C-alpha cells in the first residue's frame, strides 16, 4: 500500500487558486485556523510563512500520496538533503487532523508587509479588487 501524508497549505495551493491543480487528486481533510504563532507575507503571486509570529493562519489540510508530496516539494523549492538552499523548508506542524507537513519560507522577512488577516485568499481577492479599481 502506498504511503500517505498530510500536507497543510495556506497559499496558491488552496482550493480555487492557481496551483491547486497539484492537489486535485488529493483528499481535502478539512480547514482550520492555526494558533497565532506565524507571520504571513505577500511575495507577489504566493505567500511566505514564518514561525514565531503573532498571526493565526487559515489553512487547508490534504491527504497526499508520495508522488504528490514530491511535486509539492519541487514547487516549494524544498531540497530534503540541503535545507540551506531550499526556498521553503518542510516542517511538521500540529493540526486538528494530526501531524501535518507545512512549508516555512526560508528567506529573511525583509521589508515585506505582513498579511494581518492570516488569510491568503481574502488578501488576494482584496488585492485584485484594488488592481481592477485602478483600471
Q: Which residues are catalytic?
A: 76
Closest by alpha carbon to 44, among 135, 134, 105, 133? 105
Kindly report the number of other CB atoms within 10 A of residue 41's CB atom.
18
Distance between CA 73 and CA 105 in Å, rounded?
12
Amino acid at each position: 500500500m502506498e504511503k500517505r501524508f498530510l500536507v497543510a497549505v495556506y497559499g496558491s495551493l488552496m482550493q480555487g487558486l492557481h496551483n491547486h491543480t497539484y492537489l486535485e487528486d488529493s483528499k481535502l481533510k478539512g480547514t482550520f485556523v492555526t494558533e497565532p504563532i506565524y507571520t504571513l507575507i505577500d511575495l507577489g503571486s504566493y505567500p511566505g510563512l514564518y514561525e514565531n509570529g503573532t498571526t493565526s493562519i487559515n489553512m487547508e489540510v490534504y491527504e497526499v500520496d508520495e508522488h504528490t508530496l514530491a511535486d509539492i516539494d519541487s514547487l516549494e523549492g524544498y531540497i530534503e538533503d540541503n535545507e540551506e538552499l531550499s526556498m521553503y523548508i518542510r516542517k511538521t506542524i500540529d493540526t486538528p487532523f494530526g501531524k501535518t507537513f507545512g512549508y516555512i519560507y526560508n528567506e529573511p522577512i525583509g521589508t515585506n508587509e505582513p498579511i494581518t488577516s492570516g488569510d491568503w485568499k481574502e488578501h488576494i481577492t482584496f488585492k485584485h479588487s484594488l488592481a481592477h479599481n485602478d483600471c
